[in-house]
């Protein structure tokens, strides 16, 4: 099946050498070069994972103690997979249990979270050290909530200072290891001075809440290892071999972190092996610095370089179009991609009518592939898209057709309102300084602590510099109505009941995590709240069952949880109640889940995911939808050349996931946030070599089937229609629909002249019943957005 250009290594009796079986020369080289810094440039599909896992197994079989080996990835899924595959490779080994004990395979973020838990006490009391060992991790939503309060306190409007934008600027600074003071020192214009001010206040609020964001995990660990000799010495004495996967996605902070973990003493160069592919760098927007990989050899003197160029994954035509596409990137060092898998079907590109047509077509295509090829099943098929919003139509259609599918959205469960509420209660129990969580749930469900009361509490907390929860305890001294004071007191008593007044011991305190969770759900009133509503709406019934699911998830976590007996990773928790320590571990895990983590290759279903989540995976049959200007490349990325090139790499990543069959689609019209728009096929489709792609235009087929309010395909956009679309959009955002009332004459792009018979709804997505005399007196319910008033 796979014909290897290089002759495979001969099998020997040495178990270590069995690990080299079936590897090409450069692959084998990468496995056995265990000492010193090494850069492995691994092209898409070149057996990168294979090399890393064999390398780890090889090290262990040579007698390197597992606890000296550290492998870092970006997702939990990648880490789990790596651990599993190393285990499989060692299956034959006589002492496989003992030689792999203590091996650390982790994500950057989880490793940092652990190191901070462990060593934070050593840093407490140092100037500006922000956190204690019982800190909370804030996710994007928490960050935004805190940023909103921060901006509010600074009297800055969220219109001029959008929280996302401000947080983005701060995140960039943190990725460069610039703290608020350093940022302020460099700020030489109004805008950056303002950001510096916000950055300072935000960090202040984070300190107050004893919380860190994702970037802080890196920043604070770097500071810890730089300033605390004890921590650094322990860590460096321990991990002697470090491997980093997807190195092209590391940012500056992660670069510095990796040198701190293993040291970079010219006298004894570190055993640091990094694996990556500049052509698959797709996280530039998150601060990934491609210089890390390009300048690796300068950063580590004497570093080795191995290039893996042979592709074992895709057929020749697929590889040919990927190669052709990526050659359009100017900022790139050319790399030869080659395969020995000759033959294979041509990739296809199809122009569809609209997103529904596209969804149906893609599903039909995948169905046909599965029917045609015996060895193909649903689980071998995947659909990729640029943004999550594009999955909706696909999901609808898949459900309608009864095709099994899974969607890679590991975070979805924890993003639900009711689940976030429950987690917020737990976070508050774990860290009472956590103001974001407190504010989230203090009046949820409603317990008569209203806006005015909360404002007084928050203000008092600000003025006195006391955590808000402490203010709740002295509510009787504040100028509030007796009712409000009672309500607040009852709330504090409830929370104190869960924590046993901070002791986590005694009567009424939960005995297990699951027990605590179910108490919290009951006594907070959250459960009752949804129980009451469950009979009325399906949504509430769902929410109720989600709450139950948290209890099960906690129980499951508890069952599989083993406290690390690892000196560098286990927090010093002799005097910490077990319940508290397991809850912290649970909250940490929950905070660090990623979408890609939920992908289960064993499920018998089509996988749907974003192009970003697809990196590192492969599927026999792949469809990429929404290959349109403004989508892929995304309109945001079009602002810069480097942005465009990153989009091209994203397309490259998508294409190179495909092993045998590939379909790319674009739609002529697409409804985005309720507005139907004319789309232009992606420039990336034009950049593909025509001799290797089968292109077809199906956008004008079977028009009578789809009787919706779409513009007719033969209506090419004219200046006038573009202008009227612009006006419609403008009037839509201002919320007014001039002249739309019963009797008004209107024109619809597909159905022509008509009269409004009845107004169904007003506002932004207003609809009306319109009668069309010309089209056989048809009466249709249409969106105002598509009507032109005459």
Partner DNA sequence: CTAGATTTTATTTTT
Partner DNA sequence: TAAAATCTAG
Closest approach of Cβ 478 to DNA, in Å? 12
Closest approach of Cβ 285 to DNA, in Å? 4
By CB under 7 A, tell whether 546 contacts DNA.
no
Out of 139, 203, 245, 646, the active site residue is: 245
Q: In this chain, which of 592, 606, 622, 768 binds DNA, going by CB under 7 A?
A: 592
Backbone angles phi, psi at 314, to 5 degrees: -105, 155
The contacts of residue 286 (CB under 8 Å, 6+ apart) are 171, 175, 251
Q: In this chain, which of 208, 280, 610, 666 binds DNA, going by CB under 7 A?
A: 610
Q: Is residue 49 among the annotated active site residues?
A: yes
Residues 657 and 623 sit within 8 Å (Cβ to Cβ):
no
Q: In this chain, which of 1, 565, 673, 743 binds DNA, going by CB under 7 A?
A: 673
Out of 9, 34, 49, 307, the active site residue is: 49
Q: Is residue 245 among the annotated active site residues?
A: yes
Q: In this chain, which of 560, 733, 776, 777 binds DNA, going by CB under 7 A?
A: 733
CA distance 186 to 197: 12
State the pairing for strand pair 694-697/69-73.
Answer: unpaired
By CB under 7 A, tell whether 709 contacts DNA.
no
By CB under 7 A, tell whether 781 contacts DNA.
no
Which pair of structure tokens corresponds to residue 592? Answer: 């660090």
Q: Which stretch binds DNA (CB under 7 A): 571-579, 618-626, 677-685, 727-735?
A: 727-735
Backbone angles phi, psi at 189, to 5 degrees: -140, 170
Q: In this chain, which of 12, 126, 237, 285 binds DNA, going by CB under 7 A?
A: 285
By CB under 7 A, tell whether 40 contacts DNA.
no
| Eight-class DSSP state of 105 | E
By CB under 7 A, tell whether 443 contacts DNA.
yes
Burial class of 488 by CB neighbour count within 10 A (0 to 12, 13 to 18, 19+): buried
Residues 502 and 134 sit within 8 Å (Cβ to Cβ):
no
**Closer by beta carbon to DNA, 518 or else 783:** 783
Residues 654 and 609 sit within 8 Å (Cβ to Cβ):
no
Q: In this chain, which of 446, 474, 730, 781 binds DNA, going by CB under 7 A?
A: 446
Q: Is residue 48 among the annotated active site residues?
A: yes
The full DSSP string for 236-278 is HHH--EEEESSGGG-BHHHHHHHHHHH--BTTB--EEEEEE-G
| CB environment 162-174: b (16+ within 10 A), e (fewer) | ebeebbebbbbbb
Q: In this chain, which of 376, 449, 509, 516 binds DNA, going by CB under 7 A?
A: 449
Which pair of structure tokens corresponds to residue 349? Answer: 């590109």
**Closer by beta carbon to DNA, 60 or else 488:** 488
By CB under 7 A, tell whether 166 contacts DNA.
no
By CB under 7 A, tell whether 411 contacts DNA.
yes
Which pair of structure tokens corresponds to residue 68? Answer: 């000296």
| Eight-class DSSP state of 288 | B
Residues 153 and 455 sit within 8 Å (Cβ to Cβ):
no
By CB under 7 A, tell whether 674 contacts DNA.
yes
CA distance 581 to 571: 9
In this structure, what is the dihedral angle of CA atoms 349, 641, 219, 262, given to the nearest 10 degrees? 80
Q: In this chain, which of 502, 706, 735, 752 binds DNA, going by CB under 7 A?
A: 735
CA distance 422 to 517: 8
**Closer by beta carbon to DNA, 165 or else 301:** 165
CA distance 629 to 624: 14
Closest approach of Cβ 452 to DNA, in Å? 4
Interface pattern 245-284 for DNA (x via CB under 7 A): -------------------------------------x--
Strand partners, 42: 308
By CB under 7 A, tell whether 484 contacts DNA.
yes
Out of 118, 440, 657, 660, the active site residue is: 657
Number of residues that bind DNA (CB under 7 A): 61
By CB under 7 A, tell whether 386 contacts DNA.
yes
**Closer by beta carbon to DNA, 258 or else 310:** 258
Quick one: which of 19, 9, 78 has its CA closest to 601?
Answer: 78
The residues annotated with a catalytic role in the active site are 48-49, 245-246, 280, 657
Summarize as ranges the residues that interact with DNA (CB under 7 A): 74-75, 107-110, 139-140, 148, 158-159, 162, 164, 214-215, 282, 285-286, 386-389, 392, 410-411, 443, 445-453, 484, 592-597, 610, 612-613, 634, 636-637, 643, 671-674, 732-735, 762-765
């Amino acid at each position: 099946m796979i014909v290897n250009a290089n002759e495979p290594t001969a099998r020997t009796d040495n178990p270590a050498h069995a690990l080299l079986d079936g590897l090409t020369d450069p692959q084998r080289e990468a496995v056995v070069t265990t000492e010193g810094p090494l850069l492995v440039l691994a092209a898409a599909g070149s057996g990168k994972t294979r090399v890393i896992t064999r390398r780890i197994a090889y090290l262990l079989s040579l007698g390197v103690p597992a606890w000296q080996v550290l492998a870092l990835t970006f997702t939990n899924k990648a880490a789990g997979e790596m651990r599993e595959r190393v285990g499989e490779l060692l299956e034959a080994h006589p002492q496989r249990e003992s030689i792999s004990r203590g091996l650390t395979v982790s994500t950057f973020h989880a490793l940092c979270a652990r190191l901070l838990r462990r060593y934070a006490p050593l840093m407490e009391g140092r100037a500006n050290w922000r956190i204690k060992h019982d800190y909370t991790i804030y996710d994007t939503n928490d960050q935004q909530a805190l940023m909103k309060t921060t901006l509010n306190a600074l009297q800055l409007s969220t219109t001029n200072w959008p929280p996302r934008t401000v947080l983005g600027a701060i995140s960039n600074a943190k990725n460069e290891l610039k703290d608020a003071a350093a940022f302020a020192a460099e700020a030489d214009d109004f805008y950056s001075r303002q950001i510096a001010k916000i950055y300072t206040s935000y960090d202040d609020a984070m300190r107050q809440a004893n919380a860190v964001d994702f970037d802080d995990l890196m920043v604070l660990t770097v500071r810890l290892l730089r300033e605390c000799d004890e921590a650094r010495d322990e860590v460096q004495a321990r991990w002697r071999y470090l491997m980093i996967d997807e190195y092209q996605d590391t940012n500056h902070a992660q670069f510095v972190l990796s040198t701190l973990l293993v040291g970079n003493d010219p006298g004894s160069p570190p055993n640091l092996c990094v694996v990556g592919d500049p052509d698959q760098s797709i996280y530039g927007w998150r601060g990934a610095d491609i210089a890390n990989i390009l300048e690796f050899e300068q950063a580590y003197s004497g570093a080795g370089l191995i290039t893996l160029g042979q592709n074992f994954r895709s057929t020749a035509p697929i590889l040919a179009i990927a190669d052709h596409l990526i050659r359009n990137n100017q900022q790139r060092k050319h790399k030869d991609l080659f395969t020995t898998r000759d033959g294979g079907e041509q990739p296809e590109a199809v122009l569809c009518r609209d997103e529904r047509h596209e969804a149906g077509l893609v599903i039909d295509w995948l169905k046909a592939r599965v029917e045609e090829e015996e060895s193909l099943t649903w689980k071998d098929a995947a659909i990729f898209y640029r943004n999550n919003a594009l999955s909706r139509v696909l999901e609808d259609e898949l459900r309608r057709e009864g095709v099994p599918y899974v969607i890679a959205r590991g975070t979805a469960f924890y993003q639900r309102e009711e689940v976030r509420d429950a987690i917020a209660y737990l976070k508050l129990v774990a860290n009472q300084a956590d103001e974001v969580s407190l504010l989230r749930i203090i009046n949820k469900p409603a317990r008569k602590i209203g806006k005015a009361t909360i404002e007084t509490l928050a203000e008092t907390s600000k003025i006195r510099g006391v955590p808000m929860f402490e203010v709740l305890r002295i509510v009787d001294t504040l100028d509030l109505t007796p009712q409000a004071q009672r309500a607040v007191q009852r709330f504090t008593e409830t929370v104190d009941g869960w924590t046993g007044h901070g002791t986590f011991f005694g009567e009424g305190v939960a005995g297990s995590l699951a027990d605590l969770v179910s108490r919290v759900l009951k006594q907070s009133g959250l459960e009752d709240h949804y129980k009451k509503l469950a009979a009325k709406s399906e949504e509430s019934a769902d929410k109720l069952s989600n709450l139950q699911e948290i209890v099960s998830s906690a129980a499951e976590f508890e069952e599989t949880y083993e406290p690390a007996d690892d000196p560098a990773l286990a927090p010093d928790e002799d005097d910490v109640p077990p319940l508290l320590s397991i809850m912290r571990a649970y909250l940490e895990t929950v905070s660090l889940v990623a979408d890609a983590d939920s992908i289960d290759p064993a499920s018998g279903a089509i996988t749907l995911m974003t192009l970003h989540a697809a990196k590192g995976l492969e599927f026999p049959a792949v469809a990429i939808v929404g290959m349109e200007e403004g989508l892929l490349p995304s309109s945001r990325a079009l602002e810069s050349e480097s942005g465009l090139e990153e989009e091209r790499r994203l397309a490259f990543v998508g294409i190179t996931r495909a092993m045998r069959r590939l379909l790319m689609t674009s739609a002529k019209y697409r409804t985005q946030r309720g507005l139907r728009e004319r789309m232009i096929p992606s420039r990336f489709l034009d950049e593909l070599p025509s001799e290797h792609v089968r292109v077809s235009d199906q956008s004008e087929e079977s028009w009578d089937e789809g009787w919706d309010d779409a513009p007719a395909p033969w209506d090419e956009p004219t200046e006038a229609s573009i202008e009227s679309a612009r006006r419609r959009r403008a009037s839509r955002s201002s919320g007014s629909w001039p002249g739309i009332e019963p009797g008004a004459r209107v024109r619809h792009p597909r159905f022509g002249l008509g009269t409004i018979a009845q107004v169904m709804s007003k506002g932004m997505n207003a609809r009306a019943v319109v009668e069309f005399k010309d089209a056989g007196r048809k009466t249709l319910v249409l969106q105002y957005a598509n009507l032109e008033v005459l």
